[in-house]
């Protein structure tokens, strides 16, 4: 795939700012005015016109009328405009209003029929499109949506990383799972990726931290929702902030890291640290292999004595001990849990092979 950039003449980070939804003409124009007053860099002004809401009877967007308000923002403030499209009709309406960039929402990316419908409506129109990650952590689905657009001739495609849905309570509304965004970049090295901190956070508290983390990972830009009166917003009130707050407490505080450094001393030190890491990785792999050997020995022993592989008591014991050791070393509970579960599964697989051996010989 040979993608062209959407955002060429702008410093990093790319900034996509605006309300979750267009509610009234006054609200849309006030948001733009306040962004201008705050001196915010607006690479794209966002507002949802058609809102995919989780449950019915919520506000579902003002429809095409809102496109006229966005056009006014472009005329009066010179900001390029973007909105979400999810079907043929949305796409035609947005194209008619000459919306500069379209975006596909998470609930659209998840459905290849919908993505194809929008892609078909875009055949022959080389408008830039941003593709949000699907709701579920499925890299291929995200890539597939991008490929469907590319296949109809769209050459300027970007990605928006808005986090992934998770059952139950968590600090984030949508967990970032940064590795999926980084994997997307590894597969499509030319793609520009924007992190949508607002939909990852779901509240106002962590917006700065998530946005800075995105920049630390060399993500190209950020999308943030802003509203003149956030508490009164008709959608996503809890995560919106005023344009003034956004500029003063988030955007102006962000630090952009350089992609690479050429200073020889810096390179030398980094190389040194990296070789230490490589060494540790080597040792970790050897330790895993040793652990599996022991697990196989236990498997052999269990086989001889006809004992089940899985022992709940033993497993809880391992987890508990590991948590106790890990906590004072600053390792997160989630990390230890994930690593140990993977190691435990691998041990079970090794033991299972030993057991199967018994059946084969029997």
Alpha-carbon distance values, 319 to 103, 104, 340 (Å) = 43, 41, 7
When asked if residue 20 is in the footprint of Mn ion (CB under 5 A), the reply is: yes
How far apart CA 28 and CA 48 sit, in angstroms, is: 11
Alpha-carbon distance values, 93 to 66, 105, 106, 344 (Å) = 11, 17, 20, 54
Residue 132 binding partner per list ligand PEP, Mn ion, none, with a CB distance cut-off of 5 to 8 Å that depends on partner kind: ligand PEP
When asked if residue 110 is in the footprint of Mn ion (CB under 5 A), the reply is: no
Residue nearest to Mn ion (CB): 20
**Would strands 81-84 and 101-104 be described as parallel, antiparallel, or unpaired?**
parallel
Residue nearest to ligand PEP (CB): 105
| Residues 213-242, mask of contacts with Mn ion (x by CB under 5 A) | -----------------------x------
Instruction: Tell me the sheet residues that pair with 159.
Output: 131, 193
What's the burial of 180, exposed, middle or buried (CB within 10 Å: 0-12/13-18/19+)?
middle
Contact yes or no for 15/222 (Cβ under 8 A): yes
Residue 18 binding partner per list Mn ion, ligand PEP, none, with a CB distance cut-off of 5 to 8 Å that depends on partner kind: none
18-26, 92-100, 240-248, 342-350 -> range binding Mn ion (CB under 5 A): 18-26
| Residues 244-283, mask of contacts with Mn ion (x by CB under 5 A) | ----------------------------------------
Give the nearer residue to ligand PEP in terms of CB position, either 132 or 185.
132
Residue 105 binding partner per list ligand PEP, Mn ion, none, with a CB distance cut-off of 5 to 8 Å that depends on partner kind: ligand PEP
How far apart CA 179 and CA 192 sit, in angstroms, is: 16
CB 236 → ligand PEP: shortest distance, Å? 6
Give the nearer residue to ligand PEP in terms of CB position, either 100 or 299.
100
Which residue stretches of 38-177 are H helix?
A: 65-77, 88-96, 106-109, 112-121, 139-151
Give the nearer residue to ligand PEP in terms of CB position, either 105 or 176.
105
Contact yes or no for 235/48 (Cβ under 8 A): yes
What's the burial of 139, exposed, middle or buried (CB within 10 Å: 0-12/13-18/19+)?
middle
Residue 162 binding partner per list ligand PEP, Mn ion, none, with a CB distance cut-off of 5 to 8 Å that depends on partner kind: ligand PEP
CB 135 → ligand PEP: shortest distance, Å? 7
Give the nearer residue to ligand PEP in terms of CB position, either 103 or 208.
103
Give the nearer residue to ligand PEP in terms of CB position, either 155 or 206.
206
CB 127 → ligand PEP: shortest distance, Å? 18
Per CB under 6 A, residues contacting ligand PEP are 20, 48, 52, 105-107, 132, 162, 199
Of 318, 313, 312, nearest to 339 (Cα)?
318
CB 49 → ligand PEP: shortest distance, Å? 11
Longest dimension (CA), the chain: 82
How far apart CA 225 and CA 28 sit, in angstroms, is: 12
Residues that bind Mn ion (CB under 5 A): 20, 236
């Amino acid at each position: 795939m040979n993608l062209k950039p959407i955002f060429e003449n702008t410093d990093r980070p790319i900034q996509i700012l605006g309300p979750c939804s267009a509610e009234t003409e006054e609200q849309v124009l006030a948001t733009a005015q306040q962004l201008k007053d705050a001196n915010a860099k607006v690479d794209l002004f966002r507002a949802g016109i058609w809102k995919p809401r989780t449950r019915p009877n919520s506000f579902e967007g003002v429809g095409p009328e809102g496109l006229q308000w966005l056009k006014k923002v472009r005329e009066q403030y010179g900001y390029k405009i973007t909105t979400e499209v999810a079907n043929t009709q949305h796409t035609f309406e947005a194209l008619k209003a000459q919306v500069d960039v379209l975006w596909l929402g998470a609930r659209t990316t998840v459905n290849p029929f919908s993505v194809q419908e929008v892609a078909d409506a875009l055949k022959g129109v080389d408008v830039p499109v941003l593709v949000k990650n699907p709701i579920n952590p499925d890299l291929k689905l995200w890539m597939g949506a991008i490929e469907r657009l590319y296949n109809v001739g769209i050459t300027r495609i970007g990605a928006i990383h808005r986090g992934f849905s998770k059952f139950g309570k968590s600090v984030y509304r949508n967990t970032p799972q940064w590795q999926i965004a980084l994997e997307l970049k590894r597969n499509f090295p030319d793609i520009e990726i924007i992190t949508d901190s607002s939909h990852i956070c779901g509240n106002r508290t962590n917006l700065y931290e998530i946005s800075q983390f995105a920049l630390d990972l060399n993500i190209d830009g950020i999308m943030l929702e802003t509203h003149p009166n956030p508490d009164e917003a008709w959608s996503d009130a809890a995560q919106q902030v005023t344009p003034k707050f956004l500029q003063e407490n988030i955007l102006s505080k962000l630090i952009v890291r350089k992609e690479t450094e050429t200073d020889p001393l810096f390179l030398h030190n980094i190389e040194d640290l990296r070789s230490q890491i490589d060494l540790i990785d080597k040792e970790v792999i050897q330790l895993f292999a040793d652990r599996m050997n022991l697990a196989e020995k236990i498997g052999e022993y269990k086989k001889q004595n006809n004992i089940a592989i899985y022992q709940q008591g033993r497993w809880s014991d391992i987890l508990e001990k590991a948590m106790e050791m890990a906590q004072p070393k600053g390792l997160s509970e989630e990390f230890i849990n994930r690593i140990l579960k993977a190691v435990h599964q691998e041990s079970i697989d090794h033991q299972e092979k030993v057991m199967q051996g018994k059946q084969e010989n029997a």
